[in-house]
Structure 1
């Protein structure tokens, strides 16, 4: 988007129409109508106040005391109504903005998590940066600024209608001059400043988001940075991203300086012109002195109503840039087919059944630039375990992504049960925001499990005192920080024992554990009768699986019988415990 044009309005309506024609349309329209009616009453009272202000000056000039006190009483009476009316207008406007934000945020969040759009955005090459900022900040700005500009426009139309009639009765030439003057100012401002200001504001939103993202990464990876002593590198990166913000703001300030020079000079004339026009009639005794104040007030209200684009041009360009960011994000989320590879590219087929197998699978990366495995066929017998091994980068974790349905680039078929019958333990344990109970039951946190059973499962994974250490199962902490990596892996194993899926997929799920803990966890898994597939490098994993799939860097594969490791040999693989 390079300038303010009809394309911005089309993008705006594409985002906004769902709310105003959706399930909450009558409530939204009712609130909007109430706000407009209050605005209409506010405008009418403004006209009356402007008239009484002129009458006040005229009565003072004529030394007409009865008229003066009568005008004061009317003025105060209008203000008594005016103040609560304006407060009610502001309240209803902000309430409508808040309800619209809630609805639109829910819509974006639903689409963000639908069909794993959040994951596709992560793995695909797109220009959509910082989706968190677009949902949290851009949606808020969109709803607030939309209503602000809409109501300012309505107010401007009402003011033009109401005050033009006042102005017309005082001086007709003023009205013609005013319309021409406002049109010229709007045209000049839009043509000269439109394109660069929209571009710079769009870039500013992006760079500010990048700066926040770099600071969030430091917070989330504080320990790793400290171990690496990477403070200098991280500090330089944050400073560089701030420098990007700083340089863009510098350019923005130069354009705003030029715009302010133009608008300040442009907006000065309306304060002087009405007095110049009515002065001859006042000097001739044909018009009261108060008409100067009344004409000036009406002229300024009409002028700034017609001058809406010039007066709010900087805010409009920022708003236009935000619309573009939100629109491109909405397009990505709502047109999921375009986010996938072209229909001409081969796709892996998924067949739902009561078993887990791959048939003639050739797996490729999502961008189809690399083939990882060719013509793989293997079946996982019920109640048994399959171990997948191979050199780093040969496609072990990628195979799990394909089984999970995250990747579908390639050929062949994956036979798998319903998704709720499979539980995946990814290589990096995921600790949710919530209580210890939520950690244990995730992803099915709605399950009702008593504390005694939770305690029993913690004992099974060698975390018997975990609830006592942190104040019970309803304690809420940052579990990634308070638990070691080994504890996190054991906690995710507890999820398997509580959710009791028919199938479990484990990607390096015991890599941070000592061998005794690893053995205990796999024994618990075998005891509940879960069929499982594991990815790992440790030779000791062969003890818990009935078959071995070995992948090679040259895309070939072979099925082997795993060689069990005796207790004496396993001591060679023993690693220090990570608690």
Structure 2
């Protein structure tokens, strides 16, 4: 990744981070943050108190001072209770912060992803982020949990450096051995050397971790795809192909895993040697003055523990190299997705000349102006198409077969290649019904009210509509749970989608048809004439229609003017 791209990612991440501390989440965010800082300070102060206690304890052992033992036991009991209480409170407040920040990020990403068709349009960007669902679910978790863990450990280390360096300084002043601050200099040298070597050994780890996370997401997506398309795969006998694909993806995952293992191997090997030597090194340094009797056992143990604490704090970079790489990889994946979403937002605002533009305007009819739709490779699917659809009237738009689906997607704001404008009156909505409608898995009642929630009043209206449109067998099945797009034949799916459409309070319907007239659509239009005071404008998008058929269809709308209709081809 270039330095410019890295700076862009960190700017985005910092903007998202500071947004958490403003607005509705500010009080909760500041509470958990300040609480964690206060408890971390308490943890370090208790560690210092324990260090002083160890000196008193080992001095009592050396002097065989039995009379001091009860007091030392009570002091240790008080320290133990305080340490347990602070640690428990710290764990609770840390996890509360992690959950709150993750919830904030998840809500922001989901709200941005699930709007204006972004979840569909993402794949068409030149630098599209792969597996956006995994980035929102998994990378948001890693980025927040690990980032807060790193913040806590870094703050703990900085406070430990300050306090335990002071302890070592005071100890070395009491020693007649070596220059003042000798133990601090040795700790700096030990930790600095270890951190430098460890950082160099861990450099390949960030890229390897990012690559592994991408491969894991690809593998999960492939398995989920088999579950979602199980019926189609079974009918096509595609199991062999899916097995080969899964095997290939897992082979790539294994390759990324081995690359990460190589990245971990060097740093783990060095860290093991580094950590094993750490508690022994200060004892070896101070062995001479202790054997000569110039320092007590308590002072030796206090110095050794303070040295270990200080060196561990100074070694924070090497100890957390793996977690830093993991957190950084997730942050980069999240900010890449956010950049993509911002790019789509920019397209929505400025209506670029190299893409179809859909927006509300001061017009009285659904209007298409000079719409040209192409493929990503530049092949024209619909050329310079212009048409209007007046309100409360049936209009038939005849388009080439290959242009139907792109036109429907353009009306929904989902087609990214071409030019022209699609305008609709401000404050009005357009309901779109493709040949293959979407009926979400769940109860039939929920599928027929999607994307709204069912209510008792909508249930009664749907029951009436089902009976009026000759779909009585589905009335007792309203509470039945099914994957309706899999279990129902296409004709029944379309009939149910039309039932949902007639209950939609949209100013225009845009209905894709193989041929016109379509008896199912005509029946739905007749139902609206009987039940609605004001019928919507209806646009039929089809490749096969005659002018006489269109004129006959126009008569089904009660609000249609005497003009026989509009066929645009």
Q: How does the TM-score come out when normalised to structure 1?
A: 0.84
Preserved contact between residue 42 and residue 82 of structure 1 (Cα < 8 Å): yes
Deviation at 1:241, TM superposition (A): 0.7
**Any idea what SS the aligned residue of 1:499 has?**
coil
Residues 280/100 of structure 1: CA separation in 2 closer, same or farther (3 Å cut): same
Quote the residue 1:486 is aligned against. 491
Deviation at 1:126, TM superposition (A): 2.6
Quote the residue 2:150 is aligned against. 149
The runs of 5 or more residues in structure 1 that have no matched partner are: 549-558, 563-579
Deviation at 1:505, TM superposition (A): 0.8
Quote the residue 1:505 is aligned against. 510
Preserved contact between residue 20 and residue 29 of structure 1 (Cα < 8 Å): yes
The structure 2 residue matched to 1:532, chosen from 530, 534, 538, is 538
Deviation at 1:501, TM superposition (A): 2.8
Residues 127/35 of structure 1: CA separation in 2 closer, same or farther (3 Å cut): same
**Any idea what SS the aligned residue of 2:457 has?**
coil
Provide the aligned length of Structure 1 versus Structure 2: 544
In the aligned structure 1, how far is the partner of 2:352 from the partner of 2:311? 56
Note the alpha carbon deviations across 1:219-273, whole angstroms, 9 max, x for none. Answer: 1100000000100001110111111101111121122112111121222322111
Q: Does 1:188 align with 2:189?
A: no
Q: Does 1:79 align with 2:80?
A: yes
Quote the residue 2:366 is aligned against. 356
In the aligned structure 2, how far is the partner of 1:530 from the partner of 1:283? 98
In the aligned structure 2, how far is the partner of 1:403 from the partner of 1:5? 37
Preserved contact between residue 547 and residue 561 of structure 1 (Cα < 8 Å): no
Quote the residue 1:555 is aligned against. none
Preserved contact between residue 510 and residue 518 of structure 1 (Cα < 8 Å): no
**Any idea what SS the aligned residue of 1:267 has?**
helix
In the aligned structure 1, how far is the partner of 2:40 from the partner of 2:390? 71
Quote the residue 1:365 is aligned against. 374
**Any idea what SS the aligned residue of 1:430 has?**
coil
Q: Does 1:426 align with 2:434?
A: yes
Deviation at 1:337, TM superposition (A): 5.5
Preserved contact between residue 60 and residue 68 of structure 1 (Cα < 8 Å): no
In the aligned structure 2, how far is the partner of 1:515 from the partner of 1:410? 30
In the aligned structure 2, how far is the partner of 1:431 from the partner of 1:346? 29
Q: How does the TM-score come out when normalised to structure 2?
A: 0.86
RMSD across aligned positions (CA): 3.3
Quote the residue 1:70 is aligned against. 71
The structure 2 residue matched to 1:301, chosen from 299, 309, 319, is 309
Preserved contact between residue 387 and residue 545 of structure 1 (Cα < 8 Å): no
Greater shift in the superposed pair: 366-375 or 221-230 = 366-375
**Any idea what SS the aligned residue of 1:505 has?**
strand
The structure 1 residue matched to 2:227, chosen from 219, 222, 235, is 219
The runs of 5 or more residues in structure 2 that have no matched partner are: 173-180, 555-564
Q: Does 1:254 align with 2:262?
A: yes
Preserved contact between residue 515 and residue 543 of structure 2 (Cα < 8 Å): no
Deviation at 1:343, TM superposition (A): 4.7
In the aligned structure 2, how far is the partner of 1:226 from the partner of 1:349? 39
Deviation at 1:65, TM superposition (A): 0.5
Q: Does 1:177 align with 2:186?
A: yes
Note the alpha carbon deviations across 1:15-55, whole angstroms, 9 max, x for none. Answer: 31211244422331222111111111121111222322333
